[in-house]
Every structure is written in structure tokens, then in C-alpha cells.
Amino acid sequence: MGEQEKAIESWRNEIPALPNPVHNEDTSDYQDVDFNADPSPQMFVVPSRDPKPQHEKGDEESGRAVTLLDDETYPEGGSEAWLVVFGSWCGLVAALGVLNTIGTFQTYVSTHQLSAYSEGTVGWIFSLYTALTFFCGVYVGPLFDKYGPRYLIGPGSLAVVAGLMITSICTGK
């Protein structure tokens, strides 16, 4: 055994939490999951390496993970699935496209409509826009979870379009 191997072995002996790869772990208390069984909603409890008392729900104290399989279905192929992909693409292009090109908007507005103001003053407009874009997600997210996208996409789209149109007619006077 060389110097490096001896150093590693002594280091391993000093840290009791580090598993020794030479010893095989006893896996007799682990249960295999049958993936061919009926996929109806059921609860799987995944045991941790050091068994602790099992609680009703999985948490850090129990050392166990609990996964509840829902019966939610998602479109797999077909026109409905591709409409979901297209709708997601439209939303991301609109939201992130404007955010990624905001420097261009700021340059144009600061040289034309708001040329009487400093770059720092004009920069506050676009800084607030960017901050509100992400900050409003904290409030809109729970509404999206509760009501779904149908009631939020229309008003949100109108607000973004109206905001961009109003920006196009702003003046510095």
C-alpha cells in the first residue's frame, strides 16, 4: 500500500459517516417496487439508509421520503399535446424575449423620447419593469395553481401588449 492509499485509509477511519466501499451494505430491509403493478394512486415509502421510526408523513425527522402518485394525466402526443408546447413557447418568447432585449428598448427610449434625462434615470424604468416581472410571480403563482391558466393568460397578455403600446407613445414632457 502506497503513501496515498495509507493517507486515504486513515482519513476514512477518522470520519465515521463516510461509508467504506469494501463492505457490502445489508439491503434486506429494502423492498423492491413493482413497476408492472396497477398504477392507481398509492403511497410508496422509500426507506433511508439508517432506519428510524416511521411517521405518517415523510419528513426530515423520519429519514424517509414519501411520494404520493396522483392520477393526473398529461397529453402524450396528438394535437392537444402540441398545443401545450406551442402555448408554452408563445408565453416564454413573449416574457423572456422582452426581458432579453430590454437593453435595446432602453437605448432607443433614452436617445429619442427621454433624451432630456440621464441614462441612470431612464434605467430605473426598465429596472422596475424587470423586477416586477419576477416579483409578481409570487402573487400570480398561487392564482395559477388555484384557477389554472385560462383566467390569467388573457388579462396578462392584454396587460403586456397595452404596456408596450403605451411605452411607444411616451414623451419626456
Is pLDDT of 13 > 50?
yes
Mean per-residue pLDDT for 137-155? 85
According to the model, what pLDDT value does residue 124 have? 92
Q: For the whole prediction, is pTM greater than 0.85?
A: no
DSSP per residue, 27-92:
-TT-----TTS--SS-EEEE--SS--PPPSS--TTTT-EEEEPP------SHHHHHHHHHHHHHHH
According to the model, what pLDDT value does residue 56 have? 47
Q: Mean pLDDT for the chain?
A: 73
According to the model, what pLDDT value does residue 75 have? 66
Tell me the C-alpha distance between 148 and 4, whole Å. 59
Is pLDDT of 24 > 60?
no
Per the model's pLDDT, the better-predicted residue between 153 and 59 turns out to be 153
According to the model, what pLDDT value does residue 157 have? 81
Mean per-residue pLDDT for 128-141? 86
Per the model's pLDDT, the better-predicted residue between 33 and 125 turns out to be 125
Taking the domains of the chain in order of start, what are their residue ranges? 42-72, 78-168
Under a CB-based contact definition with an 8 Å cutoff, are residues 68 and 56 in contact?
no
Of 14-18, 98-102, 128-132, the one with minimum mean pLDDT is 14-18
